[in-house]
Amino acid sequence: MNIKKFSTAVSMAEAAGEHIIELVKKKPESLLCFAGGETPLLTLNYLVEAALKGKVDFGKCSFVGLDEWVGLGRETKGSCRQTLFDYFFDRVPELTDSQICFFDGLANDLDAECKRVDEFIAKHGVIDFMLLGIGMNGHLGFNEPGVPTDKYCHVVDLDSVTKKVSVKYFDEEVNVSKGISLGIKHIMEATEVMLMAYGEKKADIVKRTIDTEPTSDVPSTLAKNSKNAVMFIDEAAGSQL
Ligand code: GLP
């Protein structure tokens, strides 16, 4: 896996943003997937500002959400849907609902949700680009340690580390025990995957991701088996390398 290290999280986000802009220029009808969580926020902001200045046009792109906490919807601040819509989809000019497919964490039938999202991706053929945050336990989306590698969308029991970390996203107390997520098969089949991490707290998992042979025990290592993966990190996240 190619590793690109940047002096700051801001310069990393700019480079990631420029990379995505180039990709959309080359293939305007790209299917893009952005993680929720904190990691992509600076990059999403860069992309929104570029779109508002007319430097990029997402008008022909499609978007698929990476994951969602089961039981949470947009009205919960900290849900993946709320994050992606508030930071990106609702700020990019002239995006329409038909361009966006996002898990409904409140759906009664989660298997049907998985099927719906799988079909949206299949209709486009392949995900052109995924921007993935690395969880503290190495999860990608909600592909937790021990994840089966042969799955597309699936419902997951959350790892204890994920439940513990989850409090950082929410203002109110929420009880999360399951997630719904794109699967490792989507990550393997995507044309390009960008793993991203910044900050000292990610230094340990970044080192483990790089030093460990691909294994489900550390899902981020599986990205090394994907077609074309790159890892973007800042100095602090790369401080143990
Ligand atoms: C969270 C999210 C993922 C995110 C990852 C890393 O649980 N569900 O979409 O990529 O874990 O989160 P963060 O970027 O906040 O460190």
Catalytic residue, candidates 19, 104, 113, 137: 137
Q: Whose CA is nearest to atom 8 of ligand 1?
A: 141
The pLDDT value recorded for residue 172 is 86
What atom in ligand 1 is closest to the CA of residue 165? 7
Smallest CA separation from ligand 1 atom 2, residue: 37
* 69 CA: nearest ligand 1 atom: 8
- Is 77 a residue whose pLDDT tops 90? yes
C-beta of 66 in contact with ligand 1 (< 6 A): yes
Q: Kindly give the distance from the C-alpha atom of residue 209 to the centroid of ligand 1, in angstroms, as a whole number.
A: 15
Helix (H) / strand (E) element for 132: namely strand 129-133
Residue 82 belongs to some domain of the structure: yes
> pLDDT tens digits, residue range 195-236?
999 999 999 999 999 999 999 999 999 999 998 999 999 999
What is the pLDDT, as a whole number, of residue 85?
97
Q: What percent of the chain has pLDDT over 70?
A: 100
- Of the residues 68, 104, 128, 139, only one is catalytic, namely 139
Residue 172 belongs to a domain: yes
Strand, helix or coil for residue 141 = coil
Q: How many angstroms is it from 48 CA to the middle of ligand 1?
A: 20
- Is 118 within the bounds of a domain? yes
Q: Say how many Å lie between the CA of residue 179 and the centre of ligand 1.
A: 12
Residue 240, domain member (yes or no)? no
Q: What is the pTM of this model?
A: 0.97
- Please check whether residue 176 lies inside any domain of the structure: yes
Is residue 6 situated within a structural domain? yes
- State which residues form the domain around 32: 2-234
146-151 long-range contacts, Cβ below 8 Å, gap at least 24? 146/216, 146/217, 147/183, 147/184, 147/216, 147/219, 148/184, 148/216, 149/184, 149/185, 149/188, 149/216, 149/222, 150/184, 150/185, 151/183, 151/184, 151/185
Query: 36 in ligand 1 pocket by Cβ < 6 Å?
Result: yes
Q: Is the pLDDT of residue 95 over 90?
A: yes
- Which CATH number fits the domain that encloses residue 192? 3.40.50.1360
Residue 233, strand partner residues: 5, 197
Atom of ligand 1 nearest to the CA of 169: 15
Residue 140 belongs to a domain: yes
Q: What's the structural domain count of the chain?
A: 1
Question: Would 79 be classed as within a structural domain?
Answer: yes
Each residue of 140-178: pLDDT tens digit? Answer: 999 999 999 999 999 999 999 999 999 999 988 888 999
Work out which ligand 1 atom sits closest to the CA atom of 135: 6
